[in-house]
A and B are shown apart, each in its own frame.
Chain A
Amino acid sequence: MTSELWCRACGAQAQRSDAWCSLCGVALDRPDPGAARVGQVISVKGKLLRRNGIALHEAGGTVLVLLKGDETVDMPAAEFDAAKPVEVPGPPVGGAAGRLWKALRAYQVSQLDGKWNPQQLLDAALVHAVASNGTRRAAALDALTLGAPDLLPALGLTAPELAWYQARAAAGAGDTATMLGWLEQLPAQGYALRVPMLLVLSGDLLRDAALGARAAALLAPFASADADARALHAALARPGTVDVTGPLVPFAVAAESADGQLAQWAGAIAAAERPARPFPNGLPVTAAFDSFLRFRADMPYTSTVDTLRWLPLPLLDEMIDGGTVPPALAGQPGWPERTAAYVRSRLDPGGASLADLTAAGFTAELARRHYLSQDVTALDALAADHEAVRHYRALAAWRTGTGRPGLDGLRPEAALVLSQVAEARAAVAAGQDAALTETIAADPTCWPLLWQGALQGALRLPGPLAGRYPRFAEWLALCGIQRLLFQSRWDDAAGAGRALADRTRTEVTSDEALNMVAFAEFQLGKPATALQTLDEALGGRYTTGLLVNASVVAASQGSVAAIPYLAKINAETQDPAVRAGAVERAVDLWRQDDSSPEYPPELRALVRAALGQRQADELHKTLVLVASGQDREWLAGDGAVRSVNPAQAAWVKYQRAWARRKTDGSQEGLVDIANVLVELTKSPSAPDWVAQELRQFTKNLDELVHVDFGDTSAVVLTPAIEALVAGDVLELTYRIVLAVQAATHTAFFMAEENGCVTPEYEQRMLFAAVRVYQQRKDELPESDRDYVADQVAMCVGVTGFAVRVGVINLWDDATQRFNKLVERMSYASDYVQQERIMRQKGDILNRELDPLPKRLRAYLALLAQLPLDDRARETQRQITDTVTEMEAEIARLRPSVR
């Protein structure tokens, strides 16, 4: 232990009787605070005001107080003590010099009132600071407290002593790195109190290896004599460089708590024994040590990655080989990177990745994996001289059946099995029966190698072996039934299959036997019985294959019987291609089934479900078409259809438009279809079917629109025609003919309803079409030219006729209102009223009547350019007469308006 008496100047220990250091000769004085009143500030009464005074010196019962500038006053100590003290802001200091420095600092930053000459304070502080070794030490401590190390050099202390004080100040502030820097300036053998100082800050030292190493160097000289120093040094030193078990127990005793547990744990580690109570938490290496000791003692232990990861590999291997480490830990994170692959390969070789196996150099398992995955290239890339590689290469030849499999390179146990397989196969090849051995019967993996022999019925399993290996006996029986089917021996196959299904306890065998029985029954012309047999097999666990077979048999009784099985495949199978195959088959069966004209509900559900899933283009198209034809309301409504590309989306949109049109039952919906066709036709990625559908749609419109004018069934087609014309997607013939037809039907209809088409409409539909005709008639196909010319002439004539009627209707309506105004004029009493009526008459004449003959003249202009038949010529004459009359009437009325 460090003596309380020691030399602060050089750090040496001293004897209790010493007054001076025997090594450096400096006095051993402790820090001395000096005169108690010096540096205290009091409030002093002046002539007018109170002012602050500060004690500079005291001696003989008198205190010298500095009042203002250099003005001082001697004050009896009792009076000074009775004066009101003034608190000086700043950290607590202990000595006379420290109080003067503190007051000066506060005064200089205006935290303390005063009008002192600062030099007076500085001079007095120095005098008090250097009065003795004790006051120097007290002043040094105060200077550091005030954060003024610049004052230290004037104190005349040794450099080590100043370093010691600065180290302690840094330690007090928790600045470990600075503390170490000052301690490193001390004599290596001196200042033994550094040990508790370092211990106090050991948290930082344990956390930071670099700081810890510096501290360890500072502690080394004391490690032999001081238990704390020895323990702290061992704890901080680089592992393996210092004995850590030696100081363990003594130090545990020193650090001991009331229960004495620390020393017991230390003793357990020192003796490599299990402690009576578990080690404290948070010590993973110690926990790993404890786990291993417990493993060796056949006791339960903590088997987590966090603990086991700290075990050296030989010890972990011992535990793995002892079978006490759960393989599941292999897949958990936390194993050290350098050993993770090895540990995973050891703990769970079947689950380790190829990368792990490669990293661990586990060639045998790599060879097995490549063999199982039939990756011949990877297997060939492994070291050929490795025993496992040779084995698996030889085995691969047996499994794939390529080349002539041999026994070279095989491990003995494999060579034994396969040599017997080879013998059996040789016997079968020679046309002989082969008696099977127990070795073969016990190894199910080699049975498929004998399938051909089993199919030929050339294998004989001795009775006792059949009893001991029933699964093999059943396998041979299955092969036998298969042979009967391949020989078309349906009755024999059905009998043998039923017998096997009845006696086996294995469902997979039973199901397969029944499957073959059903096939035989189907071949015997008993589909109902076959389906019953398959339904029996479908109880419990079953395969997609069994459902397919049931659908095949059921299909012979009609699509409705087969669809439920196909729906089940679609619902239960993961493979999208298989699911799609089932849906396609169901649709095909129903389409080909004349006996089922109604759309079966199960097919409806199946198609709906399939349309909600991703489908290939062709099947998607078929399914949407089926839904459009058979499930209109669903498709027209919010039926969920998944489209995975623009072409599919376009098809859905088009068919949905048709479904809506058909659901509504009205022709108005045709405009929606026309709009969709326009949109798709103009799309840069228009699918091929769009042009075809547009052509068919147009053709249908053309047929429907060619009815007698006045037949309203054609009028409802006109919005669709308008949409196609506006979209400019029609072939030229249809562009002209459909437009003029639509215009004519509409004009005729309006005239019959005592109305008239608007000028805008006749311009857009009729006049524009005639202009197109006149400008592009040479582009028309030769075969269409006369037809289009006739259509245009006829439609212009008929429209002119209808518009004339409509215009007369408008004329009559306007002239009636005009005449009423004339009548009102005769009763008008004042000028204002007369003016208003004149204006209204003018509006009717100019805005309503005047344009009417002009509209009709436009028809006359058109007719003049077209080849006319008699009827058209009659129309032309009537229009001419009407125009003449109207213009004459307008001329007559003109003077009566403004």
Chain B
Amino acid sequence: MERNPYVILGVPFGSPKSVANAAFARKAQALKRDGGSLDQMTDLTWALQRVSVAIREPATAMELYRIPADPEAFQADGDGVLRPPPERLPPVDGDRASALEGLRQGAAREYLRYLVSVRATRVTLPPP
């Protein structure tokens, strides 16, 4: 039988020390209340020591069975209040009619300059 410190503590694989400590306290209290055995307490202490000290980098720990194997399984996809979608930036205030007229004027000037360049090809220098 595999002795798995995370399973003994009742926390997901890779849980941080703080979570392990809280779980240990909860379990130890329950053992005391329910009259648990010394072996159970020893197991619990061993598990806390392993999680708190021995396993420095859970991601690289290859000797331990992982529950969950995929943390995503417990983190459902999708947006919600705790994973909100991007905010929307409201548009700037502005007079759209004036803006359109400004755009028309810009287009008129640009087009007029275009016409000047067309006309210039058909004009010659005046006689002296």
Residues of A within 8 A of B (CB): 8, 31, 137, 141, 164-165, 168, 171-172, 193, 196-197, 199-203, 206, 228, 231-232, 234-235, 239-240, 244-245, 247-248, 251-252, 254-255, 257, 262, 265-266, 269-270, 272, 279-280, 282-286, 288-289, 292, 310-315, 317-318, 320-321, 342, 345-346, 348-350, 360, 362, 364-365, 368, 371-372, 388, 395, 398-399, 413-414, 417-418, 443-449, 451, 455, 471-472, 475, 478-479, 482, 485-486, 508-509, 511-512, 515-516, 519, 522-523, 525, 537, 543, 545-546, 548-549, 551-553, 555, 566, 569, 575, 577-578, 580-582, 584-585
Contact = CB atoms under 8 A, between A and B. Distances in A.
Contact of A551 (B57, B62, B120, B123): B62
B46 to A, nearest CB: 15
B96 A314 contact: yes
Given A235-B112, A248-B108, A545-B70, A141 B2 contact: no
9 contacts: A168-B128, A206-B116, A255-B118, A269-B107, A313-B92, A511-B69, A515-B70, A545-B69, A552-B63
Contact of A443 (B80, B85, B95): B80
Given A196-B125, A345-B89, A444-B78, A485 B117 contact: no
Nearest to A454: B74
B70 A578 contact: no
Nearest to B84: A368
A349 B108 CA distance: 34
Given A317-B92, A445-B81, A196 B62 contact: no
Nearest to A31: B128
A206 B110 CA distance: 10
A444 B117 CA distance: 63
A455 B104 contact: no
Given A231-B112, A350-B85, A445-B78, A203 B120 contact: yes
A444 B77 contact: yes
A202 B88 CA distance: 47
A508 B125 contact: no
B25 interface: no
A276 to B, nearest CB: 15
Contact of A199 (B61, B113, B116): B116
Contacts of A575: 59
A45 B122 CA distance: 51
Given A248-B111, A266-B111, A445 B83 contact: yes
A254 B112 CA distance: 12
Contact of B89 (A197, A349, A398, A449): A349
Contacts of A247: 112
Interface of B: 1-2, 4, 7, 10, 12-13, 57, 59-89, 91-92, 94-96, 99-100, 102-120, 122-126, 128
A509 B126 contact: no
A856 to B, nearest CB: 70
Given A444-B76, A486-B10, A398 B92 contact: no
Given A262-B115, A315-B100, A512 B89 contact: no
A545 B68 contact: yes
Contacts of B62: 548, 551-552, 566, 569, 581-582, 584-585
A196 B81 contact: no
A508 B70 contact: yes
Contacts of B108: 244-245, 248, 269-270
A585 B80 CA distance: 40
Contacts of B87: 349, 362, 364-365, 368, 388
B73 A478 contact: yes
A202 B120 contact: yes
B66 A545 contact: yes
Contact of B123 (A199, A320, A417): A199
A349 B69 contact: no
A256 to B, nearest CB: 9
Contacts of B123: 196, 199-200, 228
Given A202-B119, A519-B67, 11 more contacts: A199-B116, A239-B105, A248-B115, A272-B104, A349-B86, A349-B88, A414-B81, A418-B81, A515-B66, A515-B69, A581-B61
A235 B74 contact: no
Contacts of A289: 103-104, 106-107
A234 B114 CA distance: 12
Given A234-B112, A289-B104, A317-B92, A512 B82 contact: no
B116 A311 contact: no
A821 B90 CA distance: 119
Which of B4, B63, B108 has the most C-beta atoms of chain A within 10 angstroms of its own C-beta?
B108
A280 B104 CA distance: 16
A311 B82 contact: no
A217 B57 CA distance: 78
The 5 closest A-B pairs by CB, nearest first: A445-B80, A314-B94, A444-B76, A581-B60, A545-B69
Given A346-B89, A447-B76, A399 B82 contact: yes
B82 A485 contact: no
B73 A251 contact: no
A398 B21 CA distance: 21
A262 B117 CA distance: 12
B81 A314 contact: no
Contacts of A345: 89
A683 B100 CA distance: 77
Contact of A475 (B76, B83, B107, B111): B76
B76 A546 contact: no
A286 B65 contact: no
A546 B66 CA distance: 8
A171 to B, nearest CB: 6
Nearest to B97: A314
Contact of A280 (B84, B114, B124): B114
A512 B66 CA distance: 10
Nearest to A576: B60
A269 B72 CA distance: 57
Contacts of B102: 312
Contacts of B107: 269, 283, 285-286, 288-289
B120 to A, nearest CB: 5
A512 B70 contact: yes
Given A508-B73, A512-B69, A552-B2, A485 B91 contact: no
A478 B122 CA distance: 82
A96 B103 CA distance: 59
Contacts of A365: 86-87, 89
Contacts of A447: 76
